[in-house]
Amino acid sequence: MKKIYNLYRDFLIFILCCLISILLFLIKDTNNIKKVRFNISNLFSIIYSPKDLFNKLSSLEEENIILMNNLKIISENNKVLEQRLRDTKKYFKYDDKLSKLIPNYNFIPGRIIEHSFSGIADFFTINIGLKDGVPKDSKGVINFNGDLIGRTFSINDYNTQIHKITDKNFNVFVTTNNGIKGQFSYINGNNGMMASVSKKYEKEIEPGDTIYTSNSSTVFAPNIPVAKIISIKNSAQKHELDIKVKILADINSINNVFIVE
């Protein structure tokens, strides 16, 4: 027996170890085994703690980068919201202000969403259309100060194209405070001219006078400020006065517009 044991000792130990392993597999869900596992894990976590600390530090760096990126996004959003708040404060009760400037008309507010600088015409697009109450017929468009900036041109359900006052094809009948009538045409930059004014009115017009839309148009409401006279020349070669004007509205810095209905 002893001889057999010596001969197969290794194999018997091997079988015994395997049997213990199988036994452990069968009783692995018992509370005692779970407790042993818990204790071994605790011991292991103490040895593992330096590496765990290192892992945490490296993940902390990554988290920091993510937080920095989030902060950037939040700051950008904050800037946008601040701008909206400023706009809201500025345009709050716009109806009252514009009604004082141009009485007896309704104003439909809109926001510029796109500028188009085509070679043929100068337009911009606003975010309101027929479904928002924009009339089908062409109407005048003003800024928050009540100055003319163009007229509605092409309208669909959701958007409206505005023909800018700074387009060479843009013309509007205008009048001065004295009732002297003429036609505004754009030249370049912020400059335009008041054409078709007879030389007999030379002494009745002065530089600094404001010109307004006349009441002879179905497109524009009357008395919308258009431009300010900057010079008047009486040229011998011309039959009319040569009147240079400067457009009142700053077309390049506007974000919100109002359609005069």
- Spatial separation of the C-alpha atoms in residues 204 and 77, rounded to whole Å: 54
What pairs with residue 123 in β-bridges?
116, 163
Which two three-digit tokens encode residue 9? 């000792």
Per DSSP, helices labelled H in 92-149 are 94-101
Only one of the segments 15-23, 105-113, 155-163, 241-249 lies at the binding site for other proteins (rule: CB under 8 A); that segment is 15-23
* Interface mask toward other proteins for 124-163; x: CB under 8 A: ----------------------------------------
Which two three-digit tokens encode residue 98? 């514009």
Closer to other proteins by CB, 34 or 86: give it: 34
- Spatial separation of the C-alpha atoms in residues 58 and 55, rounded to whole Å: 5
Q: If binding means CB under 8 A, how many residues of this protein chain bind other proteins?
A: 23
Closer to other proteins by CB, 17 or 80: give it: 17
Our finding on whether 8 is near other proteins (CB under 8 A) is no
Q: Report 57-76 residues binding other proteins (CB under 8 A).
A: none
- Is residue 197 a contact partner of residue 211, using CB atoms and an 8 Å limit? no
Give least dist CB 56 to other proteins, A.
15
Closer to other proteins by CB, 28 or 168: give it: 28
Which one among 3, 4, 5, 10 touches other proteins, defined by CB under 8 A?
Answer: 10
Closer to other proteins by CB, 44 or 158: give it: 44
| Number of Cβ atoms within 10 Å of the Cβ of 71 | 10
- Is residue 156 a contact partner of residue 136, using CB atoms and an 8 Å limit? no
* Interface mask toward other proteins for 16-55; x: CB under 8 A: -xx-xxxxxxx-x----x--xx--xx--x--xx--x----
* Exposure class string for 3-20: b at 16+ Cβ within 10 A, else e: eeeeeeeeeeeeeeeeee
Closer to other proteins by CB, 46 or 73: give it: 46
Helix (H) or strand (E) holding 231: strand 225-233
- Spatial separation of the C-alpha atoms in residues 203 and 178, rounded to whole Å: 11
Closer to other proteins by CB, 40 or 187: give it: 40
Give least dist CB 9 to other proteins, A.
6
Residues that bind other proteins (CB under 8 A): 9-10, 13-14, 17-18, 20-26, 28, 33, 36-37, 40-41, 44, 47-48, 51
